[in-house]
A = this chain, B = another copy of it.
């Protein structure tokens, strides 16, 4: 296993320490937890918490900042954070207007966030939860009942974050998050596996000429394992699947995210973007905004996902609001 780490059992502790020292003190670690919080919360707004297993960096700590999340709970690698950690995050961001939890659809995450919400409600904090399930690849998976939550989650952070920053109520912020979830679809593929530090060996194996379509961000099985195709063929397959699933039609407008899984050169992501754009043009679907980079990774897995978010005036306006989150800065 080739990794730049110390003890494989301490990677989270070491990472969280390094995080809090980065980015000019924009992040603070909530004492005795693996919760990364905004140093300064905006006064009197609804709190926003997300998180999950680590190994998906910059998700979710990279989205902690003014205009997006207030806190991210950092679990062990590919492992849901515990309810007590999530509860600490809720307490650390509640200002009396309630807290929204944005959860990717994995059974462990959903249960633990739910349990943390109940603990908080018992202490008089109002908590609501939304479940992101943007991955159209498979109906159920090893870790999920229903569709998995992947890179589309970042758009949910952005829309809900902007709404909360505007001073909206918990119900309004939740509605913005749910609308985004309703409109966002993703699908991914991989060329290689990744290695969880504590496991010490690759999670799965793909031959030198193989790829897997529809793979999850923890290497969960996808829809098909086959010979590597060209960038155009892969992009066309994923994009047309998403367009069909989302029921996108001529005249619709979308935000596009081409997300690298960890070790895919940006060069390849840009090549994919060209092909996605071609297909959207052909279908007369217009592109409002395009994001190309690493937003939701799987350690050092090679591969990418495509996310399309159907936007209307409200979502366009929420995407355009300023964000100071290090991994998703929007100009003020």
A6 to B58: give the CA distance in the assembly, Å: 28
Residues of chain B within 8 A of A277, CB atoms compared: 18, 21
| Residues from chain B with Cβ under 8 Å of A3 in the complex | 191, 268
Which residue of B is nearest A329, CB measured? B329
Q: In the complex, what distance in Å separates the CA atom of A265 from the CA atom of B297?
A: 8
**A2–B191 CB distance below 8 A:** yes
Q: How large, as a class, is the contact surface on chain A?
A: 35 or more
Measured CB to CB, the closest approach of chain B to A226, in angstroms, equals: 13
Q: Does A15 contact B (CB under 8 A)?
A: yes
Select the residue from A16, A21, A273, A331 with max chain B CB neighbours within 10 A: A21
A329-B331, A331-B332 known; A292-B22 Cβ under 8 A? yes
Q: Are B270 and A302 in contact (CB under 8 A)?
A: no
Chain B residues lying within 8 Å of A258, measured Cβ to Cβ, are 22
Tell whether A88 is near chain B: CB-to-CB under 8 Å.
Answer: no
Inside 8 A of A22's CB, which chain B residues have their CB?
A: 258, 270, 273, 290-292
Q: Are A231 and B299 in contact (CB under 8 A)?
A: no
Residues in B with CB closer than 8 Å to A274 are: 14-15, 17-18, 21
Listed by A's residue number, 27 A-B pairs whose Cβ atoms lie within 8 Å are A2-B192, A3-B191, A4-B264, A4-B268, A4-B272, A4-B303, A5-B230, A5-B271, A6-B271, A11-B271, A15-B274, A18-B269, A18-B271, A18-B274, A18-B292, A22-B270, A55-B265, A57-B266, A58-B266, A62-B266, A262-B263, A264-B300, A265-B299, A266-B297, A267-B299, A300-B302, A331-B331
Binding site for B on A (CB under 8 A): 2-6, 11, 14-19, 21-24, 54-55, 57-58, 62, 77, 191-192, 208, 211, 228, 230-232, 234, 258, 262-275, 277, 287, 289-292, 294, 297, 299-300, 302-304, 324, 329, 331-332
